[in-house]
């Protein structure tokens, strides 16, 4: 590969990024471009599942459906070095113990494979893997180009995650006026779409100084039991109206439950304020498996999600209050009706 080939790859990918297509189509186009420009038999882009145990295929090119559907890809067994951020080259997939399905590779005619991690701000979120049907090595220039392509893929995947969260949170908010159902839907959507360790929403009580309501997803009951009603320093800062990022949640002195976070396997967290008309209602907290440095754009987007959540919480609380008054009025009417029927002259 020479410099002209490199420019052609970036022109193809750049044009795809500037076109109005869905993220899955974009990643498929990138996979096809890589397979064609590098003259390999196929290319697959996979993202880590939320529990980080499997690699889920999101795009591919040049490979048969039989090969692609060979079975679940175990993340630890298949590409453990890539998940540590390393480029991994396998010269012979037919005999290398790191290959999970060697028979499938033989049937597909695959000889060698190259795996490049998809990394974003210190966290590996997936891999891009090239397959060759003949012995193939990659030059330093080719490896550098593939690292850049991998960074494009990671950016596209993360952008898709956050856009998906926005849409799913909006759908969740519109689906119910029940407060607990809304909160449960929000933390579930955020955790699943962001592939996070977990998420929780804590609402303030009437005094505005303590938490009295909690909804969580992806976190153990033991961990949740460790949380007290008093906001720690990081949560209090978020209640002031800004997103608070904690890169090392197990060591940052602003966090009041560091040992519980370490036992839960949480690395980083982001506190997002739920504020309505300058009045804090609570905090949405997102927790990650690995250290993750949220970008300014991501925090801005999460702040928008927090504003939506605050509006949903307020609407649900208003609905609950109206429903309670209605039920009380209905009970009073039923009591009056029973008395009238018993003593009609009264």
Sign of CA dihedral 229, 233, 237, 243: negative
Instruction: State the pLDDT at residue 82.
Output: 82
Instruction: State the pLDDT at residue 310.
Output: 86
User: What pairing do the DSSP bridges indicate for beta strands 279-288 and 268-276?
Assistant: antiparallel
pLDDT tens by residue, 178-215:
778 888 888 998 898 888 899 999 999 888 889 987 89
Instruction: State the pLDDT at residue 130.
Output: 95
pLDDT tens by residue, 222-245:
999 999 899 999 999 999 988 999
Instruction: State the pLDDT at residue 234.
Output: 96
Instruction: State the pLDDT at residue 282.
Output: 93
At CA 216, angle to CA 298 and CA 290, rounded to 5?
50
Instruction: State the pLDDT at residue 290.
Output: 86
User: How far, in Å, CA of 236 to CA of 274, rounded?
Assistant: 12
Q: Which CATH class is domain 176-332?
A: alpha beta
258 in Cβ contact with 250 (< 8 Å): yes
Average pLDDT over residues 21-44: 86
More confident site: 343 or 272: 272
Instruction: State the pLDDT at residue 114.
Output: 94
Q: Which residues are CB-contacts of 17 (< 8 A; sequence separation ≥ 6)?
A: 26, 152, 156
CATH topology of domain 3-159: Beta-Lactamase (3.30.450)
pLDDT tens by residue, 59-80:
999 999 999 998 888 876 657 7
Q: Where are the domains of the chain?
A: 3-159, 176-332
pLDDT tens by residue, 242-298:
899 999 999 999 999 999 999 999 999 999 999 988 889 999 999 998 888 888 878
Q: Sheet holding 198-204: strands in order across? A: 211-217, 198-204, 279-288, 268-276, 244-246
Helix ranges, the chain (H):
3-17, 23-37, 65-68, 75-83, 102-108, 140-175, 179-194, 221-225, 233-239, 258-264, 296-342
Instruction: State the pLDDT at residue 124.
Output: 85
Of the listed ranges 44-48, 70-74, 248-252, 312-316, the one predicted with least confidence? 312-316
282 in Cβ contact with 259 (< 8 Å): no
- Whether pTM > 0.85 for this model: the answer is no
In terms of phi and psi (left: phi > 0; alpha: psi -120 to 50; beta: otherwise), the region of 112 is: beta
Instruction: State the pLDDT at residue 123.
Output: 78
Identify the bridge partners of residue 215 per DSSP, sorted by sequence position: 201
For the chain, give the mean pLDDT.
Answer: 84
User: How far, in Å, CA of 74 to CA of 65, rounded?
Assistant: 19
Same topology for domains 3-159 and 176-332, yes or no?
A: yes
């Amino acid at each position: 590969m020479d410099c002209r080939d490199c420019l052609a790859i970036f022109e193809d990918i750049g044009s795809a990024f500037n076109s109005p297509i869905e993220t899955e189509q974009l990643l498929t186009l990138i996979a096809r471009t890589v397979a064609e420009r590098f003259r390999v038999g196929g290319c697959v882009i996979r993202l880590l599942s939320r529990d980080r145990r499997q690699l889920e295929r999101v795009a591919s090119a040049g490979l048969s459906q039989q090969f692609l559907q060979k079975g679940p890809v175990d993340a630890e067994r298949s590409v453990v070095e890539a998940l540590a951020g390393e480029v991994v080259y396998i010269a012979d997939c037919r005999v290398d113990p790191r290959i999970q399905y060697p028979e499938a590779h033989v049937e597909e005619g695959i000889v060698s494979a190259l795996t490049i991690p998809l990394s974003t701000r210190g966290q590996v979120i997936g891999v891009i893997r090239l397959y060759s049907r003949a012995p193939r090595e990659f030059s330093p220039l080719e490896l550098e180009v593939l690292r850049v392509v991998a960074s494009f893929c990671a950016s596209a995947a993360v952008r898709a995650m956050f856009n998906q969260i926005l849409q799913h949170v909006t759908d969740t908010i519109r689906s119910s006026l029940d407060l607990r159902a809304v909160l449960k839907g929000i933390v579930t959507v955020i955790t699943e779409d962001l592939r996070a360790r977990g998420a929780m929403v804590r609402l303030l009580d009437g005094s505005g100084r303590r938490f009295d309501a909690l909804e969580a997803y992806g976190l153990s009951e033991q961990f949740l039991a460790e949380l007290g009603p008093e906001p720690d320093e990081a949560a209090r800062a978020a209640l002031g109206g800004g997103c608070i990022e904690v890169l090392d949640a197990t060591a940052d002195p602003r966090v009041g439950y560091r040992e519980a976070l370490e036992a839960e396997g949480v690395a980083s967290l982001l506190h997002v304020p739920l504020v309505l008309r300058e009045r804090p209602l609570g905090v949405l907290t997102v927790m990650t498996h690995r250290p993750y440095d949220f970008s300014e754009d991501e925090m801005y987007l999460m702040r928008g999600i927090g504003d939506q959540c605050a509006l949903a919480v307020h609407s649900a609380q208003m609905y609950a209050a109206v429903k309670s008054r209605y039920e009380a009025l209905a009970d009073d009417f039923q009591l009056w009706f029973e008395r009238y029927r018993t003593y009609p002259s009264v």
